[in-house]
């Protein structure tokens, strides 16, 4: 492993460069230790740099579960018992939350957009927009996750934390 500042060769477990005093980032040490072996998607998602993707994807799925539950309660109160929307939201939420699925997130955007326009046409009011917002967030973070995973599989590049 080489120092990012002075380029000196370092021990694999070095935390500080003995030549220039530069701290060796944890991600660089992890990457060096993992050379030759590939981590699983589950391990990859546990990396500190993937925390934002993981938490946003999970939150999107959970919010869809909540909206599905609200939909079921509203259907029961209204006495209509048509649970198609709730089941669809639940399935899309599962795909996003557990599967980290880009397809489920894109389908959720399509469903959310259709729902907003349909409700606007039927009621004359903009309704159901929260599903669309959740779905767009799910698209952003599932695509970020899969892009980072592809880079890792292709050339072993681990994502870097954004320290702002």
pLDDT digits (tens, 9 = 90+) for 93-131: 999 999 999 999 999 999 999 999 999 999 999 988 999
Q: Which residues of the chain have pLDDT under 70?
A: 27-36, 162-164
What residue numbers bound the domain in which 16 lies? 1-37
Q: Does 29 share its domain with 74?
A: no
Query: Does residue 163 belong to any structural domain of this protein?
Result: no
Q: Does 102 share its domain with 72?
A: yes
Q: 146: which 2 tokens?
A: 């899969």
Please answer whether residues 48 and 54 qualify as being in contact, where contact means their C-beta atoms are separated by less than 8 angstroms.
Answer: no
pLDDT of residue 164: 44
Query: Does residue 125 belong to any structural domain of this protein?
Result: yes
Please answer whether residues 135 and 112 qualify as being in contact, where contact means their C-beta atoms are separated by less than 8 angstroms.
Answer: yes
Other C-beta atoms closer than 10 Å to the C-beta of 62 total: 14
Give 35's contacts (C-beta < 8 A, 6+ positions apart). Answer: 156
Query: Does residue 54 belong to any structural domain of this protein?
Result: yes
Q: Does 62 share its domain with 23?
A: no
Q: How much is the pTM?
A: 0.75
Give 23's contacts (C-beta < 8 A, 6+ positions apart). Answer: 15, 16, 17
Total domain count, the chain: 2
- The CA distance from 155 to 153, in Å, is 6
């Amino acid at each position: 492993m080489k120092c990012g500042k002075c380029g000196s060769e370092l021990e694999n477990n070095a935390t500080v460069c003995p030549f220039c005093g530069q701290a060796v980032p944890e991600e660089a040490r992890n990457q060096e230790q993992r050379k030759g072996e590939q981590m699983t998607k589950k391990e990859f998602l546990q990396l500190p740099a993937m925390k934002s993707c993981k938490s946003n994807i999970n939150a999107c799925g959970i919010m869809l579960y909540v909206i599905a539950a609200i939909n079921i309660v509203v259907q029961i109160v209204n006495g209509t018992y048509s649970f198609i929307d709730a089941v669809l939201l639940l399935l899309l939420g599962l795909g996003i939350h557990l599967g980290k699925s880009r397809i489920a997130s894109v389908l959720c955007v399509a469903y959310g957009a259709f729902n907003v326009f349909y409700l606007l046409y039927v009621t004359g009011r903009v309704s159901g927009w929260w599903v669309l917002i959740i779905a767009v967030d799910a698209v952003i973070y599932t695509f970020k996750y899969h892009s980072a995973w592809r880079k890792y599989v292709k050339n072993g590049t681990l994502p870097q934390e954004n320290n702002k």
